[in-house]
Chains A and B, each alone.
Chain A
Amino acid sequence: MKIQISNGRVIDPAHGVDAVQNLYIAAGRVVALGQAPDGFEPQRVLDASGLVVCPGLVDLAARLREPGFEYRATLESEMDAAMAGGVTSLAIPPDTDPALDEPGLVEMLCHRAKQLNRAHVYPIGSLTIGLKGERLSEMAQLAEAGCFAFSQANVPIVDNAVLLRAMQYAATFGFRVWLQPLAPFLSRGGCAHDGEVAARLGLTGIPVEAETVALFTHLRLARSTGARLHVTRLSSAEGLALIEQARAEGMDVTCDVSINHLHLCDQDIGYFDPNCHLVPPLRAASDRDALRAALADGRINALCSDHTPVDDDGKLAPFGESEAGATGLELLLPLALKWGEDAGLDLATTLSRVTSDAARLIGITKAGHLAPGARADICVFDPAARRRITRDQLRSQGKNTPFLGHELPGRVRYTLVEGQIMYEG
């Protein structure tokens, strides 16, 4: 289908494009910017006056809860959420039930996602069988089935010897290893950052050492094994410092931060709000500020939603007993925009953290940008609109977000995947 998107402010961070111009789509691809190709007759024209036209968002972590956790969310509901949020590519962590440790499972997931024909999914395979941290999974076959990286999600490997072997094995093939720095025993039993808020509220604290000690281990092992390490969901200034130090020593390591840690800190727990029960925990205001600055200048490579829908019952429990996690697919764009506004960044830089920079981390080349030939995964949004986040608006089955009631900028008007309009707001 031929589509013309007219008069929008086309921002393509990967190619430094930021101009008001038309965009032309045919056969699921971007065919031209600015000037229409000869004889181009659009079947549909979208008026994007006053709107931004950018690559569809790429989310580094979105739990769709299938297989295994359908009472929390399903592929259908979460794909709807992705479309409403302008997210056209998303990476799925391996902590489904069963874990993504079998090629057949991964194939089935990809197949199911393809059938739904919404966002593109990029599964992350489990580093060890069942995420148990004992036996290596069949990484080569999982990669063939579609996994672009391997991880343990939030279930750290206890035995560092196994972690070493897993990274060596992954390095054999040049596979990416995405690890959450979370030392198992230092974080055991904890539910909140070990600081003044946890002290006053009597919550078992997770000291920042749970991140730094684990991170140091990951960095050293990555260095010695040559594994391609990506650090997920950074939460502390000290952790950031360790990464910078490793980079100064010549190591190529990337990292990301979640929308939650970008905007919130432990003070937001307030009166035991279980929507702020997250992994890793929300840390001090100074940590949040350090993360914000690092994302602005690129020391943190990309921003993700860490979408983790939880059913209401999971949150209707005392803080420490509640399930950790927050919904986020529909908030990735608004929260990115809000951060960009607060940081005084130009829109292109803001958007790059959720498009081209994220795409690069996954290894997507055909999307995350808008050069002719790119997959027509496009998000058209109104940067000036502001909306208050409420439960009814959220399409995700998970209504659990600490941003309920917040007023955020940005409203998605169209989401296109492979040149098809999947969402009209």
Chain B
Amino acid sequence: MRNPQLDSNGGLRHLLTLDGLPREILTAILDTAAPLTEVAEREVKKLPVLRGKSVFNLFFENSTRTRTTFEIAAKRLSADVVNLNVSTSSTAKGESLLDTVDNLCAMQADMFVVRHAASGAPFLIAQHLIANGRNDIHVVNAGDGRHAHPTQGLLDMYTIRHFKGDFTRLVVAIVGDVLHSRVARSQIAALKTLGVPEIRVIGPKTLLPSGLEAWGVRVFHDMDAGLKDVDVIMMLRLQNERMNGALLPTPQEFYKVWGLTAEKLARARPDAIVMHPGPMNRGVEIDSAVADGAQAVILNQVTFGIAVRMAVMSMLAA
């Protein structure tokens, strides 16, 4: 069955996941993002690409941060942006997800940027739109449950390409709570598609899903072994809620064993870059010294994130 995010010509009509996204499309998004990074430096930080189009931010799960970057990206493309914090609106009153979507379609939406707590929700929306013949409306997944965060994965790939160039020579390590991380899943999918020869995950068994090795990832529990000669370190945010689920004893212990300190960083290659999707828990997964250090490219990720989202929205709606 064809991935619903691709149309019958194999072109991109929704961005739902990086898993199964063809390499050519992935690369095209990164290529399109490149010239967009300079828009922020202009006086009029706008391109007319989405002028007259309405982008609805449909956030069923709260996130000021992600919502803001999407809003900035959409506005830089001259789109009209409507923010819907559905947690406070009709869905809380029991309206089904698809009913909410139908209502918004009736308000002339051109694009939905969707964040939802349930894995697969954006697929449901996209399939519903396709079934109703609404091929003019595009869905961008801004994060669904534990499944995917494609724009984050893309901006991470852009960042790696910017600093490291050739993916086919890299060793990349993802550290932390992979089990609950949609970011990690999108990163792994993209890294694989782009031909990264060695992808590692590092963390305690309780935070690594079974099935990772079958997916082609090397599993490490020891930071020293896992970070040895690594070119790119992608840290994941440890969510405090996890501490109560009998998954980890304390943040202190996590920091002691898997926190990225300067000492552990030294195991990696001297020119290794340190990334983090944010927001960071300083002193839990990462040391302040490292986060603010020369090898960290975390702020670059944020800048690139806007350009990447602009690229995605341009490619979809144009």
Direct contact of A and B (CB under 8 A): yes
Residues on A facing B (Cβ under 8 Å): 194-205, 207, 270-272, 313, 316-321
| Residue B309 interfacial (CB < 8 Å) | no
Mark the stretch among B69-77, B81-89, B206-214, B281-289 that contacts chain A.
B206-214
Interface string of B111-136 (1 = CB under 8 A from A): 00000101111011001100000000
Q: How far is the CA of A330 from the CA of B32 in the complex (A)?
A: 52
Cα separation A318 to B146 with both chains bound (whole Å): 12
Q: Top 6 closest A-B pairs, CB basis?
A: A202-B147, A202-B146, A272-B120, A199-B211, A318-B118, A196-B211
Q: Are B118 and A319 in contact (CB under 8 A)?
A: yes
Q: Taking the complex as formed, is B251 at the interface, i.e. its CB lies under 8 A from any CB of chain A?
A: no
Beyond A200-B19, A202-B148, A202-B182, whether A318 also contacts B211 by CB under 8 A is no
**Assuming A196-B211, A198-B211, A200-B185, is B147 touching A317 (CB within 8 A)?**
no
With a cutoff of 8 Å between Cβ atoms, the chain B residues found around residue A205 in the complex are 209-210
Give the CA-CA distance A325 to B127 in the complex, in Å. Answer: 21
B214 and A195 contact, CB distance less than 8 A: yes
Nearest CB to that of A194 among chain B residues? Answer: B210
Chain A positions within 8 Å of B147 at CB level? 201-203
Q: Are B209 and A318 in contact (CB under 8 A)?
A: no
In the bound assembly, the distance between CA atoms of A196 and B214 in angstroms comes to 6
Flag whether B22 is at the interface (Cβ < 8 A).
no
- Give the chain A neighbours of B3 by CB distance below 8 A: 271
Contact flags B186-213 to A (C-beta < 8 A → 1, else 0) = 0001000000000000000000011110
Minimum C-beta distance from A397 to chain B (A): 19
How many Å from the CB of A9 to the closest CB on chain B? 38
Residue in contact with B121 in the complex, picked from A198, A207, A318, CB distance below 8 Å? A318
> Is B28 an interface residue, CB under 8 A from the partner?
no
Name 22 A/B residue pairs within 8 A (Cβ), A-sorted.
Answer: A194-B210, A195-B214, A196-B214, A198-B211, A199-B214, A199-B215, A200-B215, A202-B146, A202-B182, A203-B146, A203-B147, A271-B3, A271-B4, A316-B96, A316-B98, A316-B124, A317-B124, A318-B118, A318-B119, A318-B120, A318-B123, A320-B120
Partner pick for A199 among B96, B123, B127, B210, CB 8 A cutoff: B210
CA A369 – CA B69 in complex, angstroms? Answer: 69
Q: B105 an interface residue at 8 Å Cβ cutoff?
A: no
- Contacts A202-B145, A203-B119 known; 12 new A-B pairs at CB < 8 A: A195-B214, A196-B215, A202-B144, A202-B182, A205-B209, A316-B96, A317-B96, A318-B116, A318-B118, A318-B144, A320-B118, A321-B118
Q: Which residues of A contact B123 (CB under 8 A)?
A: 271-272, 318
Q: Which residues of A contact B4 (CB under 8 A)?
A: 271
State whether the Cβ of B297 lies closer than 8 Å to any Cβ in chain A: no
For chain B, the bracket of interface size reads: 20 to 34
**Which one, A194, A271, A321, contacts B211 given CB within 8 A?**
A194
B302 at the interface (CB under 8 A from A): no
In the assembly, what is the distance between CA of A337 and CA of B4, in Å? 33
Whether a CB of chain A sits under 8 angstroms from the CB of B106 is: no
Q: How far is the CB of B174 from chain A (nearest CB, A)?
A: 13
**Complex interface: chain A residues within 8 A of B98 (CB):** 316
Given contacts A272-B120, A318-B116, A320-B120, contact A199 B209 (CB under 8 A): yes
Q: How far is the CB of A196 from chain B (nearest CB, A)?
A: 4
Bound Cα distance from A196 to B19, whole angstroms: 13
Contact of B120 among A197, A313, A319 (CB under 8 A): A319
> A201 to B96, Cβ gap below 8 A?
no
User: Which residues from chain A contact B124 at a C-beta distance below 8 Å?
Assistant: 272, 316-318
Given A202-B185, A317-B124: A270 touches B1 (CB 8 Å cut-off): yes
A127 to B217 Cα, complex, angstroms: 46
Q: Which residues of A contact B296 (CB under 8 A)?
A: none
The smallest C-beta distance from A193 to any residue of chain B, in angstroms, reads 9
* B39 surroundings in chain A (CB, below 8 A): none
A274 to chain B, nearest CB (A): 8
User: Which chain B residues lie closer than 8 Å to A272 at the CB level?
Assistant: 119-120, 123-124
A203 to B118 CA separation, bound complex (whole angstroms): 9
**Least Cβ–Cβ distance between B141 and chain A, in angstroms:** 11
Expressed in whole angstroms, the minimum distance between the Cβ of A407 and any Cβ of chain B is 16
Q: Kindly list chain B residues whose C-beta atoms are within 8 Å of the C-beta of A196.
A: 211, 214-215
Q: How distant is the Cα of A194 from the Cα of B179 in the complex, in angstroms?
A: 11
**B34: CB under 8 A from chain A?**
no
CA distance A194 to B147 in the complex (A): 14
B315 close to chain A: CB less than 8 A: no
Measured between beta carbons, the chain B residues less than 8 angstroms from A194 are 209-211
CB nearest neighbor in B for A203: B119
A198 to B212, CA, bound (A): 10
Instruction: Select which of A195, A201, A270, A316 is within 8 A of B119 by beta carbon.
Output: A201
Residues of A within 8 A of B119 (CB): 201-203, 272, 318-320
Q: How far is the CB of B100 from chain A (nearest CB, A)?
A: 12
In the complex, the answer to whether B145 meets A195 with C-beta atoms within 8 Å is no
**Which B residues touch A319, using CB under 8 A?**
118-120
Asked if A207 meets B148 with Cβ closer than 8 Å, knowing A271-B123, A313-B96, A318-B121, the reply is no
Instruction: Tell me, yes or no, whether B97 is within 8 Å of chain A by CB.
Output: yes
Given contacts A202-B145, A270-B1, contact A197 B211 (CB under 8 A): yes
Name the A residues within 8 Å of B189 (CB-CB): 200
Q: How far is the CB of B10 from chain A (nearest CB, A)?
A: 16
Docked-complex contact B210 and A195, CB < 8 angstroms: yes
Say whether B144 contacts A195, CB under 8 Å: no
**Distance of A48 from chain B, by nearest CB (Å):** 39
Taking CB atoms, residues of chain A closer than 8 Å to B97 are 317-318
Q: Bound complex: CA of A270 vs CA of B4, how far in Å? A: 11
B105 to chain A, nearest CB (A): 15
Query: Chain B residues with Cβ under 8 A from A207's Cβ?
Result: 210
Assembly CA distance A321 to B123 (angstroms): 13
Chain A residue at minimum C-beta to C-beta distance from B16: A271
> Which B residues are CB-close (under 8 A) to A320?
118-120, 145
B42 CB to nearest chain A CB (Å): 38
Shortest distance from the beta carbon of A25 to any chain B beta carbon, whole Å: 46
Closest residue on chain B to residue A273 by CB atoms: B1
A contact residues around B19 at 8 Å (CB): 200
- Do B211 and A201 touch (CB < 8 A)? no
Give chain A residues whose Cβ lies under 8 Å from the Cβ of B127.
271
